[in-house]
Amino acid sequence: RSNSFFDYRVGCSKPGKYKVALDSDDALFGGFSRLDHDVDYFTTEHPHDNRPRSFSVYTPSRTAVVYALTE
């Protein structure tokens, strides 16, 4: 199956603001550029995947995305 997911939760250890650092769907890599790289993702105190915090993202199908802490 090839599904995209809205509000996909990503667990993280450090609080703060995250941004897209690498996106395999970027036009640079021949992708469709479905992610907005200007969006800031802020953590919440919502534990997920054995981590104390998390943030929600849109996850296009058949992609790899790396998020980096910026603050």
Nearest to residue 55, comparing CAs of 27, 71, 2, 63? 71
> What is the per-residue pLDDT across 4-61, written as a single tens digit (0 to 9) for each?
999 999 999 999 999 999 999 999 999 999 999 999 999 999 999 999 999 999 999 9
The two tokens of residue 49 are: 């995947």
Checking if the pLDDT of 71 tops 90, the result is no
CATH of 5-69, one of 2.60.40.1180, 3.40.50.620, 3.10.20.310, 3.40.190.10: 2.60.40.1180
Instruction: Report pTM.
Output: 0.90
Residue type, 43: T
Per-residue model confidence (pLDDT) at position 2: 87
pLDDT band at 1 (very low <50, low <70, confident <90, very high): confident
* Inter-residue contact 1 to 53 (CB < 8 Å): no
